[in-house]
A and B are shown apart, each in its own frame.
Chain A
Amino acid sequence: MEDRIRLRLLTPDGVGWEGKVSAVTLPAAEGSLGVLGGHAPMLCALNSGLVKCRSAAGELRFAISEGVAGVENDVVTLLLSSLRQL
């Protein structure tokens, strides 16, 4: 699948990670939530948990603390208190 989603993971310490991916799985407040390209605009509360994303380069995983995700025009922005790449 084409990497058409631009994913941005932001913390108060700066841009934690930024890049193109094809799919993102978010730990939404009411269960795991998958986002693919062309997703409808959405705002979503996040629990602390695991963010997984797939890209041509392989799968990336991040441990995040609670935050908010915004999806619009294939740009996924995650506002997080803290973040660690696994």
Chain B
Amino acid sequence: MANIRAIRTRIKSIESTRQITRTMRMVAAAKLTKTQRSFGALQDYASASRELLERLGASGAAEEPLLQQRGAEKSVVFVLIVGNRGLCGTYNTALLKALEELTAAEREMPGGEEKELSLVVCGRWGREQIAALGLPVKRRFALSDVPETEEARELADYLQKLYLEGEADRVVLLYQSFRSVLQQSPTARTLLPLELPEGGAAAEVIYEPDAQTLLHLLLEQTLLGGVRATLLEARAAEHAARMTAMAAASDNTDELIATLSLKLNHARQAAITTEIAEISGGAAALKRDN
């Protein structure tokens, strides 16, 4: 009897776990849809800023600090975009692994000197795990589940300042890119210095007030668009990873419940059989006594 009760309790607790994992899956799915919609809305802006940059061509590019590659690179800032929480498979841990590989490769500099590497962290996950890497964290950004333009602007402005003030000779974004709902992969992309899109300047364009000012303005817009796109993509990947992880967890609970129900039925049947055997045994004994 005790066995049956124990199995029932277990089934109940697994059922409530299933409820949680199912809900989490649905929440992640809703957030993924929302993130993807924001990403879609951003595309018009991004393609228009690219188009205007192409029209501007290379005019004024020589003087533009956001475009200049620095010869002797001394410091690199990695912008690590982790998730806001766990329960999303290897989403966060794979990023940390990629970061470790990346920093190991970056640190070596010709001449035996060490490059100064530091982090800017976006997302709430893994304070301790990130601290354990031993890299200085310049700043942390809390990032909502569907990043708003304002959050992207704050990050973009901060990174631009780091770069222009010489605290970083290169800024690299490290995030999980969204390949599909089932597939994410750690990706490193250089954000600063920026690169001009290919294409010559259109002939006879009036510049108001001048090409250099326009280029800087457009590059700032491109930077903002790029940062926001990356934040959204990283979040989309997180939601997708969580969806997949929670779907797998729900499937596992289904399987566990099926196995346990079978066990429960066996135990119940065994108990009934024993009871019948006892009753009929008792009856037989009574008959014999009479």
By a beta-carbon cutoff of 8 Å, the part of chain A in contact with chain B is 8, 10-15, 28-30, 33, 40-45, 66-68, 70, 72, 77, 79, 81-82
Contact = CB atoms under 8 A, between A and B. Distances in A.
B52 A11 contact: no
A14 B42 contact: yes
A15 B43 CA distance: 10
A42 B208 contact: yes
Given A12-B228, A14-B42, A79-B48, A45 B213 contact: yes
A32 to B, nearest CB: 12
Interface of B: 38, 41-42, 44-45, 48-49, 51-52, 55-56, 149, 152-153, 202, 204-209, 213-214, 217-218, 221, 224-225, 228
B214 A42 contact: no
B152 A12 contact: yes
Contacts of B206: 40-44
A12 B149 contact: yes
A48 B149 CA distance: 18
Contacts, number: 88
A9 B48 CA distance: 10
Nearest to A46: B217
Contact of A67 (B41, B202, B213, B221): B221
Q: Which of B45, B153, B206, B214 has the most CB of A within 10 A?
A: B45
A10 B207 contact: no
Contacts of B51: 70, 77
A15 B41 CA distance: 7
A79 B52 contact: yes
Task: Please report whether the interface of chain A is mostly helix, strand, loop or mixed according to DSSP.
Answer: strand
Nearest to B224: A12
Contacts of A15: 41, 44
Given A41-B204, A41-B205, A79 B49 contact: yes
B209 A79 contact: no
Q: Which of B206, B208, B218, B228 has the most CB of A within 10 A?
A: B208
B41 A13 contact: yes
A77 B44 CA distance: 11
Contacts of A40: 204, 206
A82 B217 CA distance: 14
A46 to B, nearest CB: 9
Contacts of A29: 208-209, 213
Contacts of A28: 208
Contacts of B48: 8, 10, 70, 77, 79
A70 B45 contact: no
A28 B208 CA distance: 8
Contacts of A33: 208
A68 B225 CA distance: 14
Nearest to B42: A12
B149 A11 contact: yes
B221 A30 contact: no
A72 B51 CA distance: 11
7 contacts: A12-B149, A12-B225, A42-B205, A43-B206, A43-B214, A44-B214, A79-B49
A10 B45 contact: yes
Contacts of B208: 28-30, 33, 42-45
